[in-house]
Amino acid sequence: MDNIGSLRYFLPELILILFAVGAIILDLIWRKSSARRMPWFTLIGLLLAFVAVLSLRPEARLASPSLFEGMIELDSFSLYFKALFLVSAAFIVLFSIRTTEIASVIRGEYHALLLASTVGMCLMASASNLLLAYLSLEMVSISSYILTGFRVRHARSSEAAFKYVFYGAAASGTMLFGFSILFGLTGHTGLREIAASLHQLFQDATPGVSLAAIVATVFVLAGLGYKIASVPFHAWSPDVYEGAPTPITAFLSVASKAAGFGLLIRFFYTGLAEPITATTTWSVIGDLDWQLLLAVIAAFTMTTGNLLAIQQDNLKRLLAYSSIAHGGYMLMAVLLLTQSGMQATLFYLGVYLFMNLGAFLVVILIADRLGSEDIAAYRGLSSRAPFVAFTMTVFLFSLTGLPPFAGFIGKLYLFAAVIESKLYWLAIIGVLNSVISLYYYVRVIKTMYLDEASTETPLQLPALYRVLLFALVIPTILLGVYWNPLYQWAAAALIRS
């Protein structure tokens, strides 16, 4: 579809851009009252964009809405991701309203950056061209760098931003190099054309094509792996997660990771694999065994994340490592090249959104009330704030993957997909990792329920937090008992080949 015609289908992104610009301008007009009004203004933008996404759902079923001359793919896959980003961005805006961490510096630009980052994510999930993939990834990264360093007078925050920039620059540079090799090999930047051309090259047994393709894949993986924080590109995430303002940490661990998965799935499924006719599986092009490579990475990612999480005393850092581990679980299903693997990943991302945001919300409100992110601060929380302790328990058990919570169903689908593809060794590593993860999650629960509090004074809980906790805990429980609607949505969100 040509550029002008495409605009109609680009509505969610256009709304977000409009509101991002609007946020900057209105900040100048509203001045003092900006801090109060801006969150609601942003929320309106997100809501409108969400409505636009929903209204596009029928269009996604059309024959071939490839927008902007093949730059962007409008399919149910990208719409599912866009919905995820918008929902999590809305939660982040709400999280940021009361938090003392950034409340003093929060202004229009915070929200503008948040929106810009969301636009970038939406593009990442729908990019079907290497150029746009790179640009959207950078768009997300750059706004994230600034958001990470938003606590300007806070040394850790600046350190985190600094590390993030360095890591990000190296990773995306490497990825760009990988892209250039792919372009050199095939002469195309569109993922579909690349796939077709690679297929031809392998068929003709062009000398050196295997080596070049595998080198390109590994290099591209550097950039994608960095976004989803997979081993060995994960080292930035604990420091960045710890230093960033907690709402941003939550945003990075949920939305940014999801965007990474969106791009990763698109790149590998469209660019480096081809659908097998009349089945719901794909096959790798040529002899490029990137599946095994990803399997090894997935195994290492979850094991590293979980083992390192055990030793953490700072809950935010613990959740950072746990989030690395969850990336590993999802990667495990992505590499299968089956429809059920993709559906399981998408479903898990949806479930993960609620439970992980929930856990971070508790971190935010405890840091607000008690000024500490250490696990020790949670001592005896069950008697001081029973509701918070209860919801945290639900989130953590759900993250472990215990029934009757949503996390269990998510993991069930992931492992089911892996078993279906007969990768038993990976499934065993995966479930053993769940057992390891229980240990550190339960440590937090133990602190809340089994340890005595130093003081019995009840914690005052602002109404906003109470509502947000409810909004997150209900889906976490409900999706563990009746998950069909979300699953159906995820199941329908497939990449069109």
Partner 1 sequence: MVSNILTLMWLIPIVGSVLVLLVPKNQTRSIKYLAAIVTGVTLLLAIWLFVDFDRSEPGMQYVEKVAWIGAFNINYHLGIDGISIWMVLLTALLGFVATFASWSIDKAEKGYYALYLLLVGALFGVFSALDFILFFVFWEITLLPMYFLIGVWGGPRREYAAIKFFLYTLFGSVLMLLAILAMYFKSDPHTFSMIELQETGRAIGTSNLARLVWLGFFVGFAVKVPIFPFHTWLPDAHVEAPTPISVILAGVLLKMGTYGLIRVNLPILPDASLYFGTFLAVLGVINIIYGSLCALAQKDMKKLVAYSSIGHMGFVLLGLASFTSAGVNGAIFQMLSHGLLSGMLFLVVGVLYERAHHRYIVYPDDYEDPELAGKLSFGGLGIQMPVYTGVVMFAFFGSLGLPGLSGFIGEMLSLLGAFQVYPLLTALSVLGLIFGAAYFLWALQRMFFGEPNPRYEGIREISARELVSLVPLLLMVLLLGIFPRIAIDMFHASEFLQNLTTIFPNI
DSSP state at residue 487: H
If one asks whether residue 395 binds partner 1 (CB under 8 A), the answer comes out as no
Q: Which helix (H) or strand (E) holds 66?
A: strand 66-67
Q: How many CB atoms lie within 10 A of CB 208?
A: 9
Selected from 158, 374, 403, 492, the binder of partner 1 by CB under 8 A is 403
* Prior bond of 386 cis (ω within 30°): no
Instruction: Give the shortest CB-302-to-partner 1 separation in angstroms.
Output: 13
Nearer to partner 1, 257 or 443 (CB): 443
What tokens does 420 get? Answer: 């279906």
CA–CA distance, 460 with 98 (Å, rounded to integer): 13
Q: Which is nearer to partner 1, 3 or 488 (CB)?
A: 488
Q: Which of 369, 375, 358, 152 lies closest to 245, judged by CA?
A: 152
CB of 198 to partner 1, least distance (A): 31
What torsion do the CA atoms of 320, 466, 248, 307 make, to the nearest 10 degrees? Answer: 0
255/249 Cα distance (integer angstroms): 10
Counting residues that bind partner 1 (by CB under 8 A) gives: 28
Rounded least distance, CB 103 to partner 1, Å: 35
Of 253-261, 289-297, 354-362, 407-415, the segment contacting partner 1 by CB under 8 A is: 407-415
Which three-class secondary structure state does DSSP give residue 73? Answer: strand
Q: Which is nearer to partner 1, 233 or 415 (CB)?
A: 415
Q: Which of 79, 11, 125 is nearest to 489 (CA)?
A: 79
Phi, psi of 139 (to 5 degrees): -60, -45
**410-429 residues near partner 1, rule: CB under 8 A:** 412, 415-416, 419-420, 424, 427-428
Minimum CB distance to partner 1, residue 374 (Å): 19
Contact present, 483 and 413 (Cβ < 8 Å): no
The smaller minimum CB distance to partner 1, of residues 282 and 347, is found at 347
Q: Which residue has the tokens 């057992």?
A: 435
Minimum distance, C-beta of residue 335 to partner 1, in the bound complex (Å): 18
The footprint of partner 1 on residues 427-446 (CB under 8 A) is 427-428, 431-432, 434-435, 438-439, 442, 446
Nearer CB in complex with partner 1: 159/420? 420
Provide the token pair at 199.
Answer: 């297929």
Strand partners, 35: none
Q: How far is the CB of 184 from partner 1 (least distance, A)?
A: 42
Nearest to 335 by CA among 268, 280, 263, 275: 268
Q: Which is nearer to partner 1, 290 or 329 (CB)?
A: 329
Length of the chain: 497
Closer CB to partner 1, 41 or 415, in the complex: 415
Nearer to partner 1, 131 or 474 (CB): 474
Candidate list 397, 407, 479, 486; residue touching partner 1; CB under 8 A: 397
Alpha helix (H) residue ranges in 244-311: 246-251, 257-266, 290-310
Nearest CB to partner 1, comparing residues 256 and 343: 343
Smallest distance from partner 1 to CB 220, Å = 32
Q: Which is nearer to partner 1, 292 or 310 (CB)?
A: 310
CB nearer partner 1, residue 404 or residue 458: 404
Q: What are the Cα distances from residue 171, in Å, to 84, 116, 295, 298, 326? A: 25, 21, 20, 18, 21
Interface of this chain with partner 1, residues 458 to 497, rule: CB under 8 A: 483-484, 487-488, 491
Q: Minimal distance in Å, beta carbon 284 to partner 1?
A: 22
First to last CA, the chain: 17
Which of 402, 461, 478, 494 is the binder for partner 1 (CB under 8 A)? 402
Decide: helix, strand or coil at residue 281.
Answer: strand
Q: Are strands 72-73 and 66-67 parallel, antiparallel or unpaired?
A: antiparallel
Q: How far is the CB of 492 from partner 1 (least distance, A)?
A: 11
C-alpha pair distances (Å), 252 with each of 5, 37, 66, 208, 432: 33, 24, 28, 38, 26
Residues 141-180, interacting with partner 1 (CB under 8 A): none
Output the six-digit token pair for 57. 């759902």
Q: Which H or E element spans position 74? A: none
| Three-state DSSP state, 422 | coil
User: CB under 8 Å to 177, separation ≥6 — which residues?
Assistant: 219
CB of 427 vs partner 1, minimal distance in Å = 5
Which CB atom, from 229 or from 355, has the smaller least distance to partner 1? 355
User: Which of 212, 442 has the CB closer to partner 1?
Assistant: 442
CB of 222 to partner 1, least distance (A): 32
Binding residue for partner 1, selected from 408, 423, 472, 473, defined by CB under 8 A: 408
> Smallest distance, Å, CB 404 to partner 1?
6
Q: Which of 236, 449, 465, 489 binds partner 1 (CB under 8 A)?
A: 449
Closest separation in Å from C-beta 338 to partner 1:
12
Surface-to-core class of residue 48, CB atoms within 10 Å of its CB (0-12 exposed, 13-18 middle, 19+ buried):
middle
Per CB under 8 A, residues contacting partner 1 are 397, 402-404, 408, 412, 415-416, 419-420, 424, 427-428, 431-432, 434-435, 438-439, 442, 446, 449-450, 483-484, 487-488, 491
